[in-house]
Amino acid sequence: MSDLGGYRAVIPEDAEQSELILRINHEDPDLLMPPSDSGKRLTDQEKKILANWIEQGAKWPEFWAYLAPKKQPEIIPGDRDWGNGWIDSMVLRTLNSRQLTPSPRADNVTTIRRLHFDLTGLPPTIEQIQRFLQDDSSSAYEQIVDELLASPHFGERMAMYWLDLVRYADTVGYHGDQDHNISPYRSWVIDAFNDNKPFDQFTREQLAGDLLPAPTPDQRIATGYNRLLQTTHEGGLQPNEYRAIYAADRVRNISAVWMGATLGCAQCHDHKYDPYTAKDFYAMAAFFADIDDEQHFKVGTNSLPTRRPPELLVISEEHRQHLNALDRKIKLAEKESRSLEEKNKKLDGEALAQGKKERDRLKSVIASLKGERKKIESLGDWTMITQALPEPRVVRVLPRGNWLDESGQIVEPAVPEFMNPIKTEGRATRMDLAIWLTDPSRTSGQLTARVMANRIWFLFMGSGVSPSLDDFGGQGEPPANPELLDSLAWDFIDSGWNVKQLIKEIVTSETYRQSSVETPHLRDTDPYNQLFGRQSRYRLPAEVLRDNALAISGLLNLDEVGGRSVKPFQPAGYYQHLNFPPRTYKQNEDQRQWRRGIYIHWQRQFLHPTLKSLDAPSREECTPKRARSNTPLAALALLNDPSFIASAKIFAEQIQRQSKGDPKTGLDFAFETATSRKPDDAEKKILLDLYQTCLSEYQNDPIAARKLTTRSLLDGEPVDADQASLAAWISVARALLNLDETITRN
Amino acid sequence: MPQPIHTEPSNAIQRRTFLNRAGVGLGAAAISSLLAADESRTPADSVNHRRLPHFPSRIKRVIFLCMAGGPSHLETFDFKPELIRLHGQEMPESFTEGQPIAQLQGQALKIQQPLCTFSRHGQSGIEFSDFLPWQSKLADDICVVKSMVTEQINHDPAHTFMNTGTAISGRPSMGSWITYGLGSETQDLPGFVVMTSVGGRNPQPIASRQWSSGFLPSRFQGVEFNASGDPVQFVKNPAGVSRLAQRRLIDSINQLNRHRNQLNQNPETDTRIAAYEMAFRMQTAVPDLMDVNNEPQHILDMYGAKPGDGSYASNCLLARRLAERGVRFIQLYHRGWDHHGDLKKYMGICCGHTDKPTWALVEDLKQRDMLKDTLVIWGGEFGRTPMFQGKGGVGRDHHIKGFSMWMAGGGVRGGSTYGATDDLGYHAVDEIVNVRDLHATMLHMLGIQHDRFTVPFQGLDMKLTGVEHARVVKEILK
């Protein structure tokens, strides 16, 4: 609306004189907007809307996502209202305003399945379902919610999502894609969710745990967050270039994860849609200029793992003491050895021979002490941590993002200029940034609450209140129910950033408990389920899908929580394109291969093919919302991946045992184990036909039966001698593990 | 994110997902008219690819022969007599000052003469080095672009740049863009297929992000076909499961899904049924494609292919078979061109692996009358320095300011060269073609106007050719 040199784009209440209106109607194609060669055109209807808007005063409210969430007046539910709390009241009000009503509750089996998948990423057992179905008490549901929130698998489920956001991976990402040491960070994230660490503290420890007074080992492990970016270990790298690449990587991630902002767009120029400037981008990068992350330019090798100091050895207290003792001994022995050397110089003859002998003895002592030290070290895990440099790197604005151009102004750490500033004396630190991001009393913290509350809602409803989980900017979509989103944000803040409490509020609402069956009317009026008049249904995420198959068969190994990455079966040669060094995948052949998907070795350049076909991201960038594709490659993985075949085999052995000679009994058991419900007559018939046909075929072809029942990947021999029957059950098990219903959360 | 991809629970979207996959045989035009009916159901959808192609296309498919590691332009197509005259002398600083340098950082920069001789071929008289006796027979079929430039000097980012138009990760590769825009003409195979081979100096790693679909739906990602093991991951049935048994299994799964879906009426389930159908078809189509035993001996000999050996020669033959079956974008990598040292020996090895098969592929397409609607592109992610590097014998470092690529087929002016580097083969000086121009030209040949082929992502209308100016190099087209 400002003067642009004799004219203004918009003159309120005067459409005719507004340049905007002139230009969208211009006859000269060179002056017409949008440009005639852009392939975009405004309709007459759209032009009229713009003109009307100007005539009505061209009101331009501040952008919703940069305004602090509003506290909503408490809703007092009416008598005939639906639901049991403020979430339901808000959802209902919006639905009613569009002449819609909520969907009925899902049936109990669907509900309990949904709850288990959502809170732990695991299916319920038949016993867990029975218990719920038989408990008529009004508190039965809430009791299960509490139990699941207290389960150690809750942390694993939440960490799966967090690791997508912060782009956790086991390899460096660029060029040789070597392994790096970081799995203790994953364990820390799991523990943090299990311990219900408040989100503000969770934030501070990751961004700046090293800057806390006397940080604990755990707090230092948390700072692994700052080291999760992709690095290169390619010979011939130009340090300045990668300095710029690393800085940009960090800015993209921090702004995406905590601010829902696409600050990365301001690397080369001011943001095209949002008020972020290029200077904001580099000022944000400056917060991280003190991170010691360049040692690998010199020492990063092609070894596995590569070297990316600084690292911390994560080890038990007992082992740590042992190490300290060894270090003292080694130091002593080395000192003695040195003085012996000096002494020997002055000797000759027999005395020298004696001295040399003594020196050799000492040397072997040192070697054996060092060997012992190594052995103990190997019991622990190294993990990358953040260590501040004494002098932060100088950060300049890079004109057009060009790292060769050093003419740009030097910037100090600062938050985007249009937002509330950090109040601090001297140079602002990562800790200041962490506090600013989660300060409940200031807009900046309240915006973070809204970004995160939206994502937590997404995890339990299948879509965000604002569908743009990754972009709360001008190009994102505003929430269809802003009051609901703001209230979720405030609830999160007021609870003291209590993640479990927010989740409990959501999953105990009637909104959550609705059926996911779409009526044609709902599908027409609200195709994207932005008003939440139903639950969502979608294919399980990659890791959960695998966990589910392993859990159904009983193969899933839930012995520990956290720990090192594991390597389940993967086709030979899948890493053939990796080099520096060439890679051979060494599969874990013990129980480790049956651990949960969250622990699978995450090779950025060649993610496990089954996970990849099911839309698990490479973790090069922040991924708040995975795609949910449905492709032939995914079908092939579920049908033929040997891990799934192994699941089918173990499942089949169980079915065979349960059937006790009566295939119908076996079928009932199998179907219920896979889908949590009993099959209807049509389903029974289809599966029984499959079983009978396969049975007679395998009876006629014992060689095929033997091949199919061979326990590859598994220990021991098949339990039953009736291979034809077992092979037929394997076919049934494969069908069940591939059923739409088995692999869908609804 | 492009809206239609990520807002799943919509009838409209799922119908489209279904159509794109199940109805690929219908042709892009038919699909786009079917999709138009759904338009009102896709809010905020500004994906304009439904109007593709923007104009009649010259080609149906692209075969990109990527010589990974960066072959030397100075030992293939760009003969520089000045390098012989000045051999061993210091490289004038006027050339190198302020320029990015890879492994030669901080070392003396000495001029290195060509390690081969050159001669002219065909009616066009295009110069080829004696490393390329077979490709030189293509002198009147190809257009050599001698003025290529790129922006990335290390392998990984340079490949990313060549494939996606930017070094920023998470962007779709050109094969994904093209199959997204134009669909596929095969119902049984993926529209974008990648194959690799090795031989030469220590092979550069190649990341699967090079064929990633980035922010486009994952079904447009490149699918890697392997010479050994399963040609496509998990395409083989488990031991003891016959084709008939697998068919029956998939039938049972689909029957059960259809039955249950009477209750739920979920379009995504219909898509799943179609996906399982296509999976089954792929289980036949892929082995059939890979089985070259029915190729006549003279064709095998022409390529120098031995079935199942995983060589570049076999991959060239498979590329032709993929092209015949309607695959839209075929990319072959040969990894071994990173000649920092012992360049002469390794050029010999690399050319020994690739020269004849490359010729055979073009020749074979020609004799099947397919070259007219196929674009073949040959080149690496960058070229090599005019300066000496001695990492185990005479070699050359990475070089991005001028290198050569060639194109053939579908409307390319065969028997011509375009652009030039300076006398030392350092800077492209004449009619410079950057990677964006290459992309724009390729899209143009496919009937796509590069600056109108956009997908909204992170608030921008993303293009393969990015934000900086890109031009269609019309001069190389007939």
Taking residues A55-65, report their average pLDDT: 87
Asked which of A234-238, A320-324, B34-38, B89-93 is least confident by mean pLDDT, the reply is B34-38
Dump the DSSP string for B280-324.
HHHHHHHHHHH-GGGS-HHHHHHHT--TTS--HHHHHHHHHHHHH
| Residue B320 domain-assigned (yes or no) | yes
CATH code of the domain in which B381 resides: 3.40.720.10
Q: How many CB pairs under 8 A join A and B?
A: 261
Looking at residue A720, its pLDDT comes to 56
Find where tokens 């488990």 sit.
Answer: B238
In tens, the pLDDT along B175-207 reads 999 999 999 888 899 999 999 998 888 888 888
- Does B71 share its domain with B2? no
Shortest distance between the Cα of A674 and any Cα of chain B, in A, equals 13
pLDDT at B8 over 50: no
Q: Which of B227, B240, B197, B373 is nearest to B291 (CA)?
A: B227
What CA–CA distance (Å, rounded) separates A665 from A49?
Answer: 66
What CA–CA distance (Å, rounded) separates A155 from B188?
Answer: 42
What CA–CA distance (Å, rounded) separates B101 from B435?
Answer: 19
Q: What are phi and psi of B433, to 5 degrees?
A: -120, 115
Distances (CA, A) of A170 to A226, A260, A371, A746: 14, 25, 27, 32
Q: Which A-chain residues 376-405 have CB contacts (< 8 A) with chain B? A: 404
Query: H or E segment at B21?
Result: helix B11-22
Find where tokens 């009838």 sit.
Answer: B11
- Does B200 share its domain with B70? yes
* CB-CB under 8 Å, A37 with B266: no
What CA–CA distance (Å, rounded) separates B155 from A237?
Answer: 10
Looking at residue A76, its pLDDT comes to 72
Q: Which A-chain residues 318-377 have CB contacts (< 8 A) with chain B? A: none
Looking at residue A719, its pLDDT comes to 61
Shortest distance between the Cα of A336 and any Cα of chain B, in A, equals 43
A262 touches chain B (CB under 8 A): yes
Mean pLDDT (chain B, rounded): 87
Exposure string of A461-488, with b = 16+ CB inside 10 Å and e = fewer, is: bbbbbbbbbbbbbebbbebbbbbbbbbb
In tens, the pLDDT along A619-669 reads 999 999 998 888 899 999 999 999 999 999 999 999 999 999 899 999 999
The band of B458, judged by pLDDT with boundaries at 50, 70 and 90, is: low
Judging contacts by C-beta atoms under 8 Å, the chain B residues touching residue A690 are 248-249, 252
pLDDT at A301 over 90: no
| Residue B302 domain-assigned (yes or no) | no
pLDDT at A99 over 80: yes
Q: Mutate which of A631, A645, A685 to test chain B, going by most B C-beta atoms within 10 A?
A: A631
What CA–CA distance (Å, rounded) separates A656 from A726?
Answer: 7
As given in the structure block, the two tokens for residue B378 are 């040959």
- What are the E-state strand segments in A334-375? none
In tens, the pLDDT along B91-124 reads 999 999 888 888 898 889 999 999 999 999 999 9
In tens, the pLDDT along B257-269 reads 999 999 888 888 9
- Does B201 share its domain with B264? no
Looking at residue A316, its pLDDT comes to 86
- Does B24 share its domain with B148? no
Taking residues A731-744, report their average pLDDT: 98
Q: Which A-chain residues 628-687 have CB contacts (< 8 A) with chain B? A: 628-637, 639-642, 645, 682-683, 686-687
pLDDT at B3 over 60: no
In tens, the pLDDT along A535-570 reads 999 999 999 999 999 999 999 999 999 999 999 999
What CA–CA distance (Å, rounded) separates A607 from B216?
Answer: 18
> What percent of chain A lies above the pLDDT cut of 70?
99
- Does B23 share its domain with B65? no
Half-sphere CA count of A46, side-chain side, radius 13 A: 9
What CA–CA distance (Å, rounded) separates A87 from A89?
Answer: 5
Total number of domains constituting chain B: 3
Shortest distance between the Cα of A676 and any Cα of chain B, in A, equals 14
The secondary structure of residue B236, as a DSSP letter, is S
Judging contacts by C-beta atoms under 8 Å, the chain B residues touching residue A537 are 9, 264, 266, 268
Looking at residue B149, its pLDDT comes to 98
* Of B407 and B30, the one with more pLDDT: B407
- A605 closest CB neighbour out of B48, B208, B230: B208
Helix (H, G, I), strand (E, B) or coil at B450: helix
Distances (CA, A) of A285 to A250, A251, A674, A687: 7, 6, 49, 59
What CA–CA distance (Å, rounded) separates B257 from B273?
Answer: 7
* CB-CB under 8 Å, A606 with B208: yes
Q: Quickly count: other Cβ atoms within 10 Å of residue B75's Cβ.
A: 24
Looking at residue B215, its pLDDT comes to 86
- A627 closest CB neighbour out of B5, B43, B242: B5
Looking at residue B357, its pLDDT comes to 98
* Dihedral sign of CA atoms A651, A654, A659, A665 in order: negative
Shortest distance between the Cα of A284 and any Cα of chain B, in A, equals 19
Exposure string of A327-352, with b = 16+ CB inside 10 Å and e = fewer, is: eeebeebeeebeebeeebeeeeeeee
In tens, the pLDDT along A471-494 reads 898 878 899 999 999 999 999 999
Looking at residue A104, its pLDDT comes to 96
Mean pLDDT (chain A, rounded): 93
Find where tokens 């039938």 sit.
Answer: B251
| Residue B298 domain-assigned (yes or no) | no
pLDDT at A612 over 80: yes
pLDDT at B1 over 50: no
Looking at residue A718, its pLDDT comes to 65
Judging contacts by C-beta atoms under 8 Å, the chain A residues touching residue B101 are 238
Taking residues A493-504, report their average pLDDT: 98
A474 touches chain B (CB under 8 A): yes
| Residue B6 domain-assigned (yes or no) | yes
* Of B45 and B113, the one with more pLDDT: B113
* CB-CB under 8 Å, A620 with B170: yes
In tens, the pLDDT along A671-688 reads 999 999 999 999 999 999
- Does B207 share its domain with B344? yes
- Does B88 share its domain with B120? yes
- B259 closest CB neighbour out of A537, A683, A690: A683
Find where tokens 């953040």 sit.
Answer: A386
Contact B395, B342 (CB under 8 A): yes
Taking residues A376-394, report their average pLDDT: 95
- Does B74 share its domain with B210? yes
What CA–CA distance (Å, rounded) separates B62 from B412?
Answer: 13
Judging contacts by C-beta atoms under 8 Å, the chain B residues touching residue A687 are 252, 256
| Residue B439 domain-assigned (yes or no) | yes
- Does B223 share its domain with B236? no
- What are the E-state strand segments in B99-232? 118-121, 126-129, 142-149, 192-198, 223-224
Judging contacts by C-beta atoms under 8 Å, the chain A residues touching residue B205 are 175-177, 577-580, 605
- Does B259 share its domain with B360? no
Contact B272, A740 (CB under 8 A): yes
- A571 closest CB neighbour out of B5, B233, B261: B233
* CB-CB under 8 Å, B256 with A683: yes
| Residue B297 domain-assigned (yes or no) | no
What CA–CA distance (Å, rounded) separates B391 from B455?
Answer: 44
> What percent of chain A lies above the pLDDT cut of 90?
79
* Of A714 and A383, the one with more pLDDT: A383
Judging contacts by C-beta atoms under 8 Å, the chain A residues touching residue B230 are 571
Half-sphere CA count of A43, side-chain side, radius 13 A: 3
Question: Which residue type does A226 have?
Answer: N
* Dihedral sign of CA atoms A193, A194, A200, A203 in order: negative
What CA–CA distance (Å, rounded) separates B164 from B174?
Answer: 6
* Dihedral sign of CA atoms A519, A525, A528, A531 in order: negative
Contact B112, B387 (CB under 8 A): yes
What CA–CA distance (Å, rounded) separates A205 from A218?
Answer: 9
- Does B186 share its domain with B147? yes
* CB-CB under 8 Å, B196 with A632: no
Looking at residue B9, its pLDDT comes to 31
Asked which of A35-44, A351-360, B338-347, B422-431 is least confident by mean pLDDT, the reply is A35-44
In tens, the pLDDT along A264-279 reads 889 988 988 889 999 9
What's the per-residue H, E or C state across A147-163? HHHHCHHHHHHHHHHHH
Radius of gyration of chain A (CA): 31
Q: Mutate which of B7, B282, B458 to test chain A, going by most A C-beta atoms within 10 A?
A: B458
Contact A34, A42 (CB under 8 A): yes
Contact B192, B273 (CB under 8 A): no
Domain containing residue B366: 54-228+308-476
Residues pairing with B399 in the sheet: B383
| Residue B303 domain-assigned (yes or no) | no
* CB-CB under 8 Å, B153 with A238: yes
* CB-CB under 8 Å, B276 with A175: no
- Give Cβ neighbours of residue A182 (< 8 Å, ≥ 6 apart): A168, A169, A170, A224, A227, A228, A383, A384
* CB-CB under 8 Å, B223 with A633: yes
Contact A553, A734 (CB under 8 A): no
Query: H or E segment at A193?
Result: helix A183-194
Exposure string of A239-266, with b = 16+ CB inside 10 Å and e = fewer, is: eebbbbbbbbbbbbbbbbbbbbbbbbbb
Looking at residue B25, its pLDDT comes to 30
What CA–CA distance (Å, rounded) separates B164 from B358?
Answer: 24
pLDDT at A108 over 80: yes
Tell me, yes or no, if the pTM score tops 0.95: no
- Does B176 share its domain with B244? no
| Residue B122 domain-assigned (yes or no) | yes
In tens, the pLDDT along A279-292 reads 999 999 999 999 99
Phi-psi category of A442—alpha, beta or left, where left has phi over 0 and alpha has psi -120 to 50?
Answer: beta
Shortest distance between the Cα of A210 and any Cα of chain B, in A, equals 29
* CB-CB under 8 Å, B272 with A740: yes
Helix (H, G, I), strand (E, B) or coil at A539: strand
Q: Mutate which of B252, B397, B463 to test chain A, going by most A C-beta atoms within 10 A?
A: B252
Judging contacts by C-beta atoms under 8 Å, the chain A residues touching residue B257 are 739-741
Looking at residue B179, its pLDDT comes to 94
Contact A291, A388 (CB under 8 A): yes
Residues pairing with B384 in the sheet: B398
Taking residues B412-425, report their average pLDDT: 97
